[in-house]
A and B are shown apart, each in its own frame.
Chain A
Amino acid sequence: MSKTAALTLKDLSCTFHVQGGLFQPARHVRAVDRISFTLEEGGVLGIVGESGCGKTTLARMILGLQNPTSGEAFVHGQRLSELDRRARARLIQPVFQDPFSSLNPKHRIKDIVALPLRAQGRFEPQEIERRTAAILERVGLSTEQGRRLPAELSGGQRQRVAIARALILEPRIVVCDEPTSALDVSVQAQILNLLGELRRDLKLTYVFISHNLAVVEHVASEVMVMYLGRMVERNTTASLFKQPRHPYTQALLASVLTPEPGLGLPDVGLGDTMPDPSNIPSGCRFHPRCLKAQPQCATITPSPSTPSDRAMVECHLF
């Protein structure tokens, strides 16, 4: 327990107000609902869940791009809401999903990468140039590629640029939101390997969002499963994959298609009604899709239980 906490979330919530149509009342969408979590320095937190479960909103709050409605996030012991933009940028940086839209198409690669340094406003031009060249080399891009425009690079190379830009300020935490889902498998493997090397060499902490559980299993040390804004299960990666407790986690794991012929297609059994974040079911929010639902699940909200030190599950079965 000697490790220090890199990231602490305390009852973090975010509610959006959606304007209704002409004849519809305004609605409240609780995108993230009272999430608490502690991530140790050097750890990788994998966040998984279907689209609309609030994982990107959670990431935006961790990055300080979205103000929480209630609750607090602490980065290395400092209250995130009390840090100014520059200080926050030195601690925590993002890598986004789509390298085709997250890089300014009119800027040269080396300028894109150097921008966070320039924005800090306290580095000499030579220092900026030296650091840019070093970080480009570190992520496997040549000086010549640094002079190009984003359109002249492939998807994998662009994601390397996004990683270089995130790392140039030597942050402590990197939030990766689906960093490889727009890439081919062969390129995805290159990027995942690069992220792994950088984490070890630079002692980084990652928050890693993905809908691909096989990828999460490969990179994460701990996994958080989100469903309609709630954290429904949390555990160390090894334990979660060995013993998924929540029926939703079980369904997610069952739906991973591994390249093993002869196994056929899994019957996930989640039904075809997709959850609606603006109309969260009563009781356990997963009960309409749950195969193991009991009468109480529709009325009583389950409270979190901790089957072991590192594990949390929110389900009436536990």
Chain B
Amino acid sequence: MSPILEVKNLAVRFGPTLAVRNASFTVQKGETHCIVGESGCGKSVTALAIMNLLARNGQRDAKAIQFSGQDILAYSDRQMEDVRGNRMAMIFQEPMTSLNPSYTVGSQMTEVLRRHHNTTRDKAEQRAIALMQRVGITAPQMRLGQYPHQLSGGLRQRVMIAMALMCDPELLIADEPTTALDVTVQAQILRLLAELKQELGLGILLITHDLGIVARVADHVSVMYAGEVIESGRTADLFANPTHPYTRGLIDCVPVPGKIKPGEALGSIPGTVPVIKDGFSGCAFRFRCAHASEVCTQAAPRREIGPDHVVHCHLPRQGADQ
């Protein structure tokens, strides 16, 4: 396997606020890499930083962002425009707000191909129809002439996926692609993404807050907290041996049918994610951590606790103990 995306030491700041700090991860070809964390942990900002779509007051800094072997960190806006939507495509959370309500589905879908590859309208429409069929949209010819409001939520998200695939991307960045959808539709959309990954050898960077999704679709996971990747590893390893107290806490919060007896409390993490400003030091989770001690005011060391399994914590905990 070869990496399609390698992010090295990414940092993003908005004025004095540090949204992402020293985040590094790799997405392999044909692999789904999940970034998971609570709101405000910097996961969406990470995705925007990779695509260089940060708001004007956002500053990004990194050692490198290698996309398909090239460092896109140094790319000009013009060069980035040729990459975005073409070789690197995205799907956003809310398919209603990310589709333009005043253009038909067809004109939005074909625009990508016509813009990047100068394709004729007919050819672009043929490709759009083929892709709509591939993502399970019935009567694609009719859908091309429809406006986004005429489609259901699941259908809109399928249109977004088909649109993202128009130019045969190598990397798909999906930011909470199923959060706005019903559970039944969510399962279908995630299955579709998994099939496309297999078929087209896509690399997928999937951003989610839902550990259920992570467990079922990810090959690799990075857990983010307050802008940092605090634990990462292969999915099976991470769930079998969650090591950072935050990862453990997150897993315990998720209600699972049959896991907890009626009337028993769910595990929870007290408090909320802190906002990290200039001059902050130490482990950002120490304010909510049951195991915090004096040493946690110093930066947490990086420890490898297994092949590919890395944790940033002063307390490496064994899988066996509680």
Shortest C-beta distance, A262 to chain B (Å), equals: 6
With a cutoff of 8 Å between Cβ atoms, the chain B residues found around residue A281 in the complex are none
Smallest Cβ-Cβ distance to A274: which chain B residue = B152
Contact A156 B255 (CB under 8 A): no
Contact B183 A256 (CB under 8 A): yes
| Alpha-carbon gap, A237 to B213, bound state (A) | 24
Is B250 in the interface zone, CB < 8 Å from A? Answer: yes
Which of the four size classes fits the interface of chain A? Answer: 35 or more
Mask for A261-295, Cβ within 8 A of B = 1, else 0? 11111111010111000000000000000000000
A-B residue pairs, 6 tightest by C-beta: A257-B212, A189-B268, A186-B269, A189-B253, A189-B266, A184-B38
Contact A265 B217 (CB under 8 A): yes
Contact B191 A187 (CB under 8 A): no
Besides A214-B257, A264-B216, 9 other A-B contacts (C-beta < 8 A): A186-B253, A189-B267, A193-B265, A217-B258, A241-B257, A259-B254, A268-B187, A272-B154, A274-B152
| Alpha-carbon gap, A266 to B185, bound state (A) | 11
| Alpha-carbon gap, A213 to B187, bound state (A) | 14
Smallest Cβ-Cβ distance to A184: which chain B residue = B38
| Alpha-carbon gap, A262 to B39, bound state (A) | 26
Contact B188 A268 (CB under 8 A): yes
Query: What are 16 residue pairs bridging A and B, where the CB atoms are less than 8 Å apart in the complex?
Result: A156-B272, A184-B39, A184-B209, A185-B38, A187-B268, A190-B268, A196-B265, A214-B257, A215-B255, A251-B184, A258-B257, A261-B216, A265-B190, A274-B154, A274-B155, A274-B185
Q: A186-B268, A258-B257, A259-B254 are in contact. Are A211 and B211 (CB under 8 A)?
A: no
Mask for A200-229, Cβ within 8 A of B = 1, else 0? 100000000001111101100100000000
Interchain pairs with CB closer than 8 A, number: 143
Q: A192-B255, A213-B183, A265-B187 are in contact. Are A256 and B212 (CB under 8 A)?
A: yes
With a cutoff of 8 Å between Cβ atoms, the chain B residues found around residue A186 in the complex are 38, 249-250, 253, 268-269
Is B64 in the interface zone, CB < 8 Å from A? Answer: no
| Alpha-carbon gap, A50 to B188, bound state (A) | 14
Is B200 in the interface zone, CB < 8 Å from A? Answer: no
Shortest C-beta distance, A29 to chain B (Å), equals: 15
Is A188 in the interface zone, CB < 8 Å from B? Answer: yes
Q: Give the interface SS of chain B, mostly helix, strand, loop or mixed.
A: helix
Is A252 in the interface zone, CB < 8 Å from B? Answer: yes
With a cutoff of 8 Å between Cβ atoms, the chain B residues found around residue A254 in the complex are 187
Contact B187 A257 (CB under 8 A): yes
Q: A211-B182, A265-B187, A268-B187 are in contact. Are A185 and B239 (CB under 8 A)?
A: no
Smallest Cβ-Cβ distance to A251: which chain B residue = B184
Mask for B15-46, Cβ within 8 A of A = 1, else 0? 00000000000000000000000110000000
Smallest Cβ-Cβ distance to A276: which chain B residue = B152
Partner of B191, one of A200, A238, A261, A265: A265
Is B80 in the interface zone, CB < 8 Å from A? Answer: no
Contact B256 A273 (CB under 8 A): no
Contact A214 B250 (CB under 8 A): no
Is B279 in the interface zone, CB < 8 Å from A? Answer: no
With a cutoff of 8 Å between Cβ atoms, the chain B residues found around residue A154 in the complex are 272
With a cutoff of 8 Å between Cβ atoms, the chain B residues found around residue A258 in the complex are 212, 215, 254, 256-257
Partner of B260, one of A211, A218, A221: A218
Contact A261 B239 (CB under 8 A): yes
Q: A255-B184, A265-B190 are in contact. Are A213 and B138 (CB under 8 A)?
A: no
Mask for B258-295, Cβ within 8 A of A = 1, else 0? 10101101111110100000000000000000000000
Is A260 in the interface zone, CB < 8 Å from B? Answer: yes
